[in-house]
Amino acid sequence: MENERFTIKRRKTRCCLIMGLCALILLVILAISLWVAFSHKQYNSGDSLKETIISRCQTFIQNNRTSSAYDCQKIWTVFEQAFVGKDPCNVPTDAYDSLINTIIQDPICNKMLFWSKTKHIVHEFTEKRNCFQTLEDTLLGYIMDGLTWCGKEGSNETFTTGCPSWNDCVNHTVKSFWNRASAAFAEAACGDVSAMLNGSIATPFTPTSIFASIEVKRFNADKMRSLTVFLVTQENDGKSCDDPSLKNLQKELDPKLKYSCVSVAKLLW
């Protein structure tokens, strides 16, 4: 009887050990599967970004009848060289110089439209009226609009997840791109230029904005005649063209440039 009990107990112990070992093996297999899936996702994020950029490039060329001299594959290659293998918080604006020089578009004088804190409004406006061009309406701006990317030190891959947030660092990979592209767009500004600012916020001409800190400082009075500000407000609510921040904008401009401001209710379009 004692031997029988001992045998049963030993069998139960052995079953428990086998079940525990099976559970451990399943956990290891699951962990490996998750790691492989995650690694594959990270690896493919760059491929997905490449497909998006090349597809947008080709679409822009087709829709705008732009010169076929633009090589979308070359644009991708030069773009990657700006940040791959680098600390995502240590990509200065000049890292994108080659990309800017690869995509040279003639400016459309008298139609260039700048904006600050009005992105959705300004593009809603330009979609309905094909008489203005924002940075996002150029080839480079159209390709990169709304995308996120970064590299990592010691890696030859491109990432679209796990990148620092916009305000995490000064030389942020994406921020540096938009600062450089905005500078180039402003340097090309010619003729009668417009800007759409938000009249529903405390400071329409915000000193830290890209428009104030980069674009306005690069306006060239030898190429520009005037700057017209469209101050967008809600109906009967918001700032007026007498706002002190707009007075500061006037002071920033070359005295040779004619300045005007028009308060516009968003409901008008």
Q: Which of 148, 115, 110 is nearest to 131 (CA)?
A: 110
* Catalytic site residue from 89, 109, 169, 241: 109
**Strand segments (E) across the chain:** 113-116, 191-198, 224-233, 258-265
Those residues with Cβ within 8 angstroms of residue 146's Cβ, 6 or more apart along the chain or in another chain:
none
Identify the three-state secondary structure at position 152.
coil
Is 261 an annotated catalytic residue? no
Q: How many H-runs (helices) and E-runs (strands) does the chain carry?
A: 8, 4
Instruction: List the catalytic residue out of 57, 150, 163, 190.
Output: 190
Distance CA 241, CA 122 (A): 18
Spatial neighbors of 14 by CB under 8 A, at least 6 apart, are none
Q: Is 109 annotated in the active site?
A: yes
Nearest to 118 by CA among 212, 211, 178, 197: 197
Q: Which residues are catalytic?
A: 109, 190
